[in-house]
A and B are shown apart, each in its own frame.
Chain A
Amino acid sequence: EDQVTQSPEALRLQEGESSSLNCSYTVSGLRGLFWYRQDPGKGPEFLFTLYSAGEEKEKERLKATLTKKESFLHITAPKPEDSATYLCAVQKAVRGTSYGKLTFGQGTILTVHP
């Protein structure tokens, strides 16, 4: 069974204090790993897709990396507006009913204090 585990569950940072969020996964045949950001009362907002080990993607203060077993979301010099829940999800490389299905982790609640 596909499993996605995110750590830590919650992370509190001071503004400017860089850190990383972890997403460990077990899936037979990874098609893609997705990172989403979710603000309270809103739907998840897409950030990145990573397809193969060694791939990296960046967006403003965020950089996502991928290995064969885990992904990291690095936050450089975070600001209070980066506070949100960050979700990762995996997608299987299987045709048929499971194709396209995203299995989500529980998320990391990030709080950045001024």
Chain B
Amino acid sequence: DARVTQTPRHKVTEMGQEVTMRCQPILGHNTVFWYRQTMMQGLELLAYFRNRAPLDDSGMPKDRFSAEMPDATLATLKIQPSEPRDSAVYFCASGSTGGEENTEAFFGQGTRLTVV
């Protein structure tokens, strides 16, 4: 059963601490998305990778957020230092694109982050 796996599922941290969220995309998918979901803003795109290269991170606060794909099986989203306003559910999604073809994005279960 192919699925996107995110860890941890829940994270509570103190303001100022570093937070790292991990995502294992579905095997064979070449695109990875990081989304943030809050009640007020809904789902917002933070970063988008294709073939491990970052293509769009315009939605991500550059001063404290960073996203990487060390290899095809791992994507990371890091917040340093974390702030209470970063509290949200962070979703990773993966899909497949090639030329004009693309599939839907499959979402993981999310990481619920609480910064106190």
Contacts and interface: CB of A to CB of B under 8 A. Distances in A.
A102 B105 CA distance: 9
B31 A49 contact: no
* Shortest 5 CB-CB contacts between residues of A and residues of B: A43-B107, A104-B43, A97-B56, A46-B104, A106-B42
Q: How large is the interface on B (under 10, 10 to 19, 20 to 34, 35 or more residues)?
A: 20 to 34
Given A49-B104, A99-B97, A102-B105, A87 B110 contact: no
23 contacts: A32-B102, A34-B104, A34-B105, A42-B110, A43-B4, A43-B93, A43-B110, A45-B107, A49-B104, A97-B48, A97-B55, A97-B58, A99-B55, A99-B97, A99-B102, A100-B102, A101-B33, A101-B45, A102-B45, A103-B45, A104-B35, A105-B42, A106-B42
B109 interface: yes
B65 interface: no
A21 to B, nearest CB: 15
Nearest to B45: A101
A44 interface: yes
Interface string B75-112: 00000000000000001010101000010111111100
A44 B33 CA distance: 13
